Structure formats: structure tokens, C-alpha cells
Amino acid sequence: MTSDSTHPQPIHLEPFNQSTPPPSGRLIVFTGPSGVGKGTLLRTLMFNHPELHLSVSATTRQPRPDEVDGKHYHFVSKAHFEQMICKKELLEWAEFAGHFYGTPRLPIEQHIHDGHSIILEIELQGARQIHRNFPDALRIFILPPTFEELESRIRMRNQDSEAAIIRRLEQAQMEIAAAPEFDVQLVNDDLNTTVQTLEAIIFK
Ligand code: ADP
Ligand code: 5GP
């Protein structure tokens, strides 16, 4: 987030009442550098466990060729995003690599209230906001085996411009340094092994 007056400013978030939701409803935060494999891991996890729910974020970035509005993200204008902040419709939000990203509040409150576990796949600033407001959330940080492997995965994905790749790699260094803040740190080396470890952590 920046303090630049042209950008939206942070808002104070009231945590929802954590004494009322049934005990099975859990907030799970997934963080890690772009390209580390969060999306790939989550797709497998959701396929294996349809009872889990994944939050659909709002973003001001442009859709990638295979992305569907309302499924991968709610793609919104900057003005619309600012409105969502003003109306306190976002549980957390942050600026990442030149775009805004945020978690719509209502679906999360509904899922937790209904006793469903819900996963937020968000970057570091957002994860910190969630930790401040929802200290019981389980926060998992996904690490790459090496920085070289991270760069190769971002390039292999072949979905970002060279400028975007450089920005994401710069951001990645800063994010990886914050990994010890998280409850769990997991290296995504072999995909199946990582999924199995995640299952053991989430369903223990
Ligand atoms: P993120 O959601 O963290 O930005 P993606 O899920 O898009 O990352 O993964 C980036 C690239 O890395 C994709 O091409 C994906 O297939 C690949 N990938 C993900 N996990 C692994 C893994 N464990 N081993 C090798 N490649 C992986
Ligand atoms: P991408 O543009 O690669 O889809 O996402 C860029 C970064 O934004 C990723 O680290 C992703 O986890 C993060 N992100 C996605 N949605 C949200 C959100 O709602 N809030 C925050 N804080 N970060 C998000």
C-alpha cells in the first residue's frame, strides 16, 4: 500500500463476531510469491476437497487470456475498487505490482457463519491485515525450492510481460523475507508432496 493521495487509503476493519460461527468454519490464508504455485496447489486442493471454499478477489488488473470474470477474479475499474473500499465492502486490500486487489467481505462472513472453511489467496500486506483482525486465521506461506526455480516458473507460465515479471521478482524477494511471520512455511518442490502436506495441515 502507498500513502500517495492518488491511491485509496486503508480503512479500519471490524472483525466479525468470532464467538458465533460454528467451530468448523475456518479462515485459511495462502500467501507466497507470484509464480510459486499457489493457484496450482489450490486447484488440486479444491478438486480433492469440494467442501473447501475459495474466496474470489476483486482486482483492477486486466484478465489474463484464460481468466473468467467472477470465477478467477471480479475484474473491476479503479473507481469501482475505491467505492468498494469506501463502502467497507472489502475485508482487506492491497496494491501489488501496480494493481489493486481485495477480498470481498460478505461471502467470507457468510461462509464462516455457515461453518464452511474458506481460503484466501492473498499477498503479504493483505495477510498482515487479516492477522491483525482475525488472529485465529491459519496463515500458510508457500516458498519456492530456489529463487531460480521461481523465476523459471513465472516465465514458464508465459502470462506476464517482461516488465511485470521483473516487478513480481522484486516483490518476491521482499515477500520471502517475511515468511517467518506465518504459522506454516511450506516449500513447493514436488507438487503432490506439497498437496499432501497441505491436506495434513488443514485437516489435522
Ligand atoms: P501462483 O498462483 O503462485 O502465481 P501458479 O500456480 O500460476 O503460481 O504456478 C506458476 C507456474 O509454476 C505454473 O506454470 C505451474 O504449472 C508451475 N508449478 C506450480 N507448482 C509447481 C511445482 N511444484 N513444480 C513445478 N512447477 C510448478
Ligand atoms: P496475480 O495478479 O498473479 O493473480 O496476483 C498477484 C498477487 O495478488 C498474488 O500474490 C495474489 O496472492 C495476490 N492477491 C490476489 N487476490 C488478492 C486479494 O484479494 N487481496 C490481496 N491482498 N492480495 C491478493
**Residue given cell 521461481 in the structure block:** 150
- Pocket probe for ligand 2: among 1, 59, 141, the residue whose CB has the most ligand atoms within 8 Å is 59
Q: Which atom of ligand 1 is nearest to the CA of 43?
A: 6
Please, what's the largest Cα pairwise distance for the chain? 47
pLDDT band at 204 (very low <50, low <70, confident <90, very high): confident
Can you give the pLDDT at residue 39?
A: 93
Q: What average pLDDT does the segment 63-79 reach?
A: 95
The CA–CA distances, whole Å, from 202 to 53, 60, 98, 123 equal 13, 31, 32, 19
pLDDT band at 203 (very low <50, low <70, confident <90, very high): confident
Can you give the pLDDT at residue 157?
A: 84
Domains and CATH numbers, the chain: 27-202 (3.40.50.300)
Closest by CA position to 95, among listed 199, 3, 190: 3
CA distance 159 to 28: 27
Amino acid at 74: H
pLDDT band at 2 (very low <50, low <70, confident <90, very high): very low
pLDDT band at 3 (very low <50, low <70, confident <90, very high): very low
Helix axis angle for 38-48 and 191-202, nearest 10°, is 60
Can you give the pLDDT at residue 20?
A: 37
Distance 121 CA to ligand 2 centre (A): 7
